[in-house]
Amino acid sequence: MQTLNFYTNTNLINLSVQTYLHKIHNKNFNYPYTDKKTKKSGFWLVKDDGIYLINAFKLGKNETPTSMNYTSYANGYNPNCYDSDELWERTYQFSRDDFAEFIEVSERQLIALRNRCSLQINFYDDFYETIILTPTLKSVQEVKKEIQLEKDKLQNA
């Protein structure tokens, strides 16, 4: 089993709110790499330069997940916090290939994420599960650590 933790932050909350609004307005969500659509709500889990969640719905003209603050990195996989060689090794250990995958989340999970809970995704050989985590001291400390790493990296640039 492999696990990714997405601790609560502004981007995860923004992503959750907009996904929830998209869901309640009965709009379609997109699967990556195809033209297939679904009414099931969810995010795209992307592995390339880091591992992160982004919107699975169409954005407006000139909007990107980054410009809309919808990009939420998994704990330990944020390229703004880690040396590129260290990050490459971490992401390579998770998966040798870059990918995008649709991750279904329920309406209840979206509401919990909007209310500052965190998301854990556990990957097994042939399925995944999403679990909502209430904020813990450890998760708050991990977020603070990544914020400090990002600040340090910016100061040293």
pLDDT, tens digit (0-9, with 9 covering 90-100), for 64-84: 999 999 999 999 999 998 889
Distance CA 104, CA 107 (A): 10
Does residue 139 register a pLDDT over 90? no
Give yes or no for a contact between 37 and 156, defined as CB atoms under 8 angstroms apart: no
Residue 140 has pLDDT above 90, yes or no: no
147 pLDDT more than 80: no
Question: Model pTM?
Answer: 0.86
Domain count, the chain: 1
Judge whether residue 20 has pLDDT over 90: yes
Confidence at 17, pLDDT banded by 50, 70, 90: very high
Name the percent of the chain in helix, strand, coil, to the closest 5.
35, 25, 40
Residues of the domain holding 84: 2-156
**What is the SS3 assignment for 30?**
strand
pLDDT on residue 146: 77
% the chain with pLDDT above 90: 80
- Please report which confidence band the pLDDT of residue 141 belongs to, taking 50, 70 and 90 as the band edges: confident
